[in-house]
Structures are given as C-alpha cells and as structure tokens.
Structure 1
C-alpha cells in the first residue's frame, strides 16, 4: 500500500512539472519577443515612430533653418574679424560669445534639414569662402550685410572697427529676431520653435549690451 501511494505521488509531481514547462514555453513565444525570447519593438513600430518624428515639421520650420544658417554664418564671419581688428576688449569678448553660441546652432539646424531630406543652405560669405566672394546672395534677408558693408568692415580697424561692428551687428541681430519671431508664430517643430525663442532672448540682450557700448541707452 505504501509503495502504491509513493508511486502515485511521484506521478502527480511529474505531471505538474510538465504542465509548468509547457506554460513557460507558451509565454516565451510572445509575438513581441525577438529570436532570443526578449520582448522588444518590432521594426515596423520603430519605423513608424521615426517617420512621425521626421514628419513633425512644416514648411516654416524648413524656411527657418535654411534662412538662419547663412544668417548665422555671416555673423560668425563678422565675429571672427574682431579677433585682430577690434580695439575694445568688450567687443572682442562679445564676438567670442557670438561664435560660441551660433556655431553649434548651425550644426543643429543642418542636422534637421538633412533628416528632413532638405538642402542645407550656406552663405557665400561663410568662413570657408575666399576673399572677394559674393556677400549679396542672401542680402534680402532681414539684417544681412551686402558686399559693400562687409568690405568696409574688413578694411576697418581699431575704434572705427568697434563702432562699425557694433552698429552692423545690432542690425544683424534685429534681423535674426524678426526671423525667429516668425518661426515661433508659425513653426511646428518643437526644437526649432524652442531654438527661435532662445535666439530672440539672447540676441535681444546682446543688442542692449551693444547699445551701451556705443553709448546709447
């Protein structure tokens, strides 16, 4: 009798173990699992997410990036001239800060345009261009300098350069703020509208600083 009960108990335990194994196998065969049994996002869902991110922009966002890149590039060229032409330490410091702020923004906007499949516009007066290149390609944009303006700045030095640089950069900044305001009002892409807000705030503060350096209130 005792042997019979022992055999019966062992058979029951074996049956339980088999059932548990089958249940675990079924759970491991989840439709969202990969070949190793780990759950993850399917290629289709990842692709859909990427497409949604890429599509979350409008024509204004593209126009903002394509316009602000050459606008920033000209500001950087003007700022670089200050290194060996300006006489004021304050002007040199301001120019250095402009470079530090705007160069990364150019890289960021270029990345947006590439991800959207759009052309990355550049200024003919960018840092890589040779002397004498056309500075007027984008002179119709707010605050952009033309060939004559840039030629005068390149020839100036000392106190004359300081005054000319500050006067021109104030107008340049006003143009950037105008472009940024349009983006804030009409843009759809979150990072672009956020950048435009930062541009407006930072450059408005720099305009105040430059007016003080010019002796204006």
Structure 2
C-alpha cells in the first residue's frame, strides 16, 4: 500500500503541464508509427460529419413555418378571448422565437444563411394558406379561439411530421436536437389544444 501511495505522489508531482484529458492513439499510415494525441488535439483533427441536404432543407423550411406560428400567436394576443388560448399563444411566441434565432445561427455557421427561406409563398406542412390566414385575422372572440386552435393544431402536426423526416435522414447533431425539441414541445401543445377544443 505504501508503495502504491508513493507512486501516486510521484506521478502526481511529475510535470506541471495542464491536464488535457485522455490521450488518443491515432494509427499511422503504412510504415509509420502510431501517434499519441491529447483529447483536444484529436478533436482538432477529427473530420466533421458532413451536413446532409435533409438538415438544410429542414432548417430552411422550419424557419418560415415558425414565423407563421409567431404571426398567428400575435393575432391571438389581440383577438382571443380565452385566457387559455392567450396563454398558449404566449408560450408559442416564447419558444419559437428563440428557435428561429438558433436555426438562423446554424445556417450562418454552415455559410448558408441568406435571410431568405422561401417566404410565406412556399407553404410547408401544416402552414396556413393566405385565405386561411385572412380568415383567422378577420375572426374575433370565441370564433377566433376555435379557428386558432384548429389551425395551430394542424400547423403543429405539420412541424412534427417535418421533424420526423429529418430525424431519419439528417446527420447534424444540432438539427437533430432542434427536431427533437419540436416534437416534444409541439406534441404537448397539441394535447393542450385538444383539451381546449372539447
């Protein structure tokens, strides 16, 4: 035991270089020796997983999808009479606004951000048509509440379907996390809206 303690002290006292995490053995090319790298050095040499077209398509589609949800939530703040509908709209605004910022930042990191993502003229799964949006904007009171719940439920279902597709075809970790958040958050909100519709 004394020997082991002595070795521990000796090893602990040798060198003052900062701990750089576990080492990684990197095989060399034929005829070359393997290299022992620190964790940070190995991370720098690691080849990044390429972003798939599915990742890019999902993000570029989900940004206008979220923006329309924010516009719908903005209408609810002015037109809804149900406190539950107003509360749901406020939650959607609080969640999806920051998610848009995350997705735009992701596109910027991929050097793909242009500020244009198809606009509202390109309708992705569950998005309202111009006629449906006008119908919602014209409604007031309980009629608005009913339309908002029906349209937002379909809107969320479309987002969940899009997230399910990228979960299968995508490769990027960040995009996968965004998709998972969409599924979890919007599934819970759909359950809440179904309760409001009864």
TM-score range for the pair, normalised by the shorter chain length: 0.7 to 0.9
Residues 1-217 of structure 1 mapped to structure 2, 5 A cutoff? 49=44, 52-53=47-48, 56-118=50-112, 119-122=114-117, 124=119, 135=120, 137-139=121-123, 141-215=124-198
Larger radius of gyration: 1
Give the CA deviation at 1:49: 4.0
Segments of 4+ in structure 1 off by > 2 A?
A: 48-53, 119-124
Could you give the per-residue CA deviations for residues 103-153 of structure 1, whole angstroms, max 9, x where no partner exists? 1110011011111121343464xxxxxxxxxx4x122x1101111001011
Q: Distance in 1 between matches of 2:162 and 2:118?
A: 16
Query: Is the 1:144–1:175 contact (alpha carbons within 8 Å) kept by the matching residues of 2?
Result: yes
Q: Distance in 1 between matches of 2:86 and 2:180?
A: 25
Q: Distance in 2 between matches of 1:102 and 1:51?
A: 33
Gaps of 5+ in 2: 1-40
Give the CA deviation at 1:50: 9.6
Give the CA deviation at 1:57: 1.5
Partner of 1:150: helix, strand, or coil?
helix
Q: TM-score, normalised by structure 1?
A: 0.68
Give the CA deviation at 1:66: 0.2
Q: TM-score, normalised by structure 2?
A: 0.74
**C-alpha distance 69-138 of structure 1, shift in aligned 2 (>3 A):** same
Give the CA deviation at 1:52: 4.6
Q: Distance in 2 between matches of 1:65 and 1:50?
A: 28
Aligned to 2:11: none
